[in-house]
């Protein structure tokens, strides 16, 4: 049993992964600059299926 339970649904996860990859691609090409590296956050949370902010705010988009 994991101490981190998933709190993101499939649509939420897909949107985060797409946004993260897009931001990282724009950062790598120099289009948006250094701030676009923040794309690591939505990419990681989308891949893990867990968002720490959702935990704090008690939001859950994952079906049980």
| Stretch 24-44: mean pLDDT | 96
pLDDT of residue 42: 98
pLDDT of residue 63: 83
- Specify the pTM: 0.88
Residue 3 in this model has a pLDDT that exceeds 90: no
Residue 4 in this model has a pLDDT that exceeds 90: no
| Stretch 10-37: mean pLDDT | 96
Predicted confidence band of residue 41 (pLDDT cuts 50, 70, 90)? very high
Say if CB 43 and CB 16 are below 8 A apart. yes
Q: How many CB atoms lie within 10 A of CB 56?
A: 8
């Amino acid at each position: 049993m994991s101490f981190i339970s998933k709190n993101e649904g499939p649509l939420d996860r897909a949107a985060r992964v797409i946004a993260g990859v897009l931001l990282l691609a724009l950062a790598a090409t120099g289009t948006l600059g250094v701030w676009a590296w923040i794309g690591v956050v939505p990419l990681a949370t989308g891949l893990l299926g867990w968002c720490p902010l959702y935990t704090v705010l008690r939001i859950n988009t994952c079906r049980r």
